[in-house]
Copies of this chain bind each other. A is one copy, B any other.
Amino acid sequence: MSRTIDINSDMGEGFGAYRMGDDAAMLSIVTSANVACGFHGGDPLVMHETVTTAKANGVDVGAHPGFFDLWGFGRRRIVGERPADLEKTVVYQLGALQAMAQVAGHRVSHVKPHGAMSNMACIDADMADAIARAVRAVDRRLILMAMPNTELERAGEKAGLPVAREIFADRAYDDDANLVSRALPGAILHDAEESAQRVIDFIADGALRSVSGKRIPVAIDTVSVHSDTAGAVAMAQLLRRRLDEAGIAVRPLSQFIV
């Protein structure tokens, strides 16, 4: 097998005295870092440290914009925000990260919405379009990371952005390629070996396999791994090793998308 794949993870989600996840360890494993931009987490110091360390590790950085909701860590669904307003909050966060990256000698290469903003944009065409418009207005070469078969993927394509399709290493899929709700049994794969093997199978097959066994052909460009859960580092390390052993090249998105 000779497929190429990116591994991405959320980074730089601390704020002030608070830390979230072991970024230094994760940055030695992944190839793309989705960097919080100060709205749901992150601040200028954390961002600087993250982009600097990413640069030193040859890791791509992307903006990980979230709702302006630090207390909720961007996970609370905020309903009724106008798409035009959402667009501006994404532009702001993108610009902030671009300057932080530039100063560190790096550059922003992708965008991946965070938390509730992402969940909502996957099924809300207006929100998805607003995000894609924001990205395109700032830099049309930015890669939009999106789950296959979502409004976000569609919006990125419509906007003419390069789109990277992502799968989640440890999440079960339903027959529509949607994530099975965390509230349901079997939604999360807890076994690292099983999870790694499943990723390899998906890549080899060019398709997801749902919990019911349905085969869903999808392009897969990047695998998302957690950074802030117990055992996250070990799980990511094992995935990386198994991918290497399987002959799947692990490379930053910017080296093979577009």
Binding site for B on A (CB under 8 A): 14-20, 38, 41, 43-45, 47-48, 68-73, 75-81, 85, 88-89, 91-100, 102-103, 134, 137-138
Contacts and interface: CB of A to CB of B under 8 A. Distances in A.
A124 B45 CA distance: 21
Given A38-B92, A96-B95, A77 B76 contact: no
Given A18-B73, A43-B68, 13 more contacts: A16-B73, A18-B19, A43-B71, A48-B88, A76-B78, A77-B80, A79-B79, A92-B100, A94-B99, A95-B96, A95-B98, A95-B99, A99-B138
A182 to B, nearest CB: 12
Contact of A16 (B70, B79, B137): B70
Nearest to A92: B44
Contacts of A41: 17
A243 B78 CA distance: 40
